[in-house]
Amino acid sequence: MITGAGGGLGRALAAALAPTHTLFLAGRPSQRLDAVAAQYGATTWPIDLADTDGIDAVVEPIVELDVLVHNAGVAYPGRVAESTVDQWRATMSVNLVGAVALTLALLPALRAADGHVVFINSGSGINASPGLASYSASKFALRSFADSLRNDEPGLRVTSVHPGRIATEMQEDLVAYEGRGYDPTRFLSPETVARVTADAIHTPRDGHVHEVILRPR
């Protein structure tokens, strides 16, 4: 299962994993999500991470799950003094609480498969980024949740992926906030991040990749 599969990185993750996995694409219903599903013969799962009350019922039919990739996320560019409580609440709701809720709902299915949970985190989950106050805080918390999950569920593999800036729509918004021109060649491509993530997932069963840190050259 891949969350946020309608976006640039989500689509790249689907492409990287489609040759070896049957894909469940989770997210809010949209034409973009449907297009990715049609391209890779995947099933869509209508999940809104901001509405945790509905998650259990949606994923109840899944009794075994090999891999869960948490890719969905939101970012509201702004320094601390510019941010609002509503932005902090919305960021934590999707980036942290939604990921926790989906993981808990799928825990029995992951246990049944000795599964792998992958969190697409960020460099901001290691070093707070200027102008991304609420986003950085949510990613630090998500890293902590991943560490706790790894400690508490020894039958699972849990990997945090910390890429630097990626050439996506979210990056365009951040660059615009910074008042600079957007040049995608300065950033990691979604395909590169997806390839590295797939490599971690394909690690032989006697290995456990805890953390991946990836930066643009």
Query: For the CA atoms of 32, 162, 125, 142, what is the dihedral angle to 10 degrees?
Result: 60
Structure tokens at 133: 């106050």
Residue 135 annotated among the catalytic residues of the structure:
yes
Characterise 120 by phi-psi region: left (phi > 0), alpha (psi -120 to 50), beta (else): beta
Classify the phi-psi angles of 207: left when phi > 0, otherwise alpha if psi is within -120 to 50, otherwise beta.
Answer: beta
- 131 burial (CB, 10 Å; 0-12 / 13-18 / 19+) is middle
The whole-angstrom separation of Cα 156 and Cα 143 is: 16
- DSSP code of 94? I
Nearest Cα to Cα of residue 16 among 58, 61, 71, 63: 71
Question: Which tokens sit at 196?
Answer: 């590295």
- Are the C-beta atoms of residues 164 and 115 closer than 8 Å to each other? no
- Which of the following is catalytic: 40, 76, 135, 182? 135
C-alpha 167/C-alpha 8 separation (Å) is: 8
Q: What is the residue whose two structure tokens read 């918390």? A: 141
Question: Catalytic amino acids?
Answer: 135
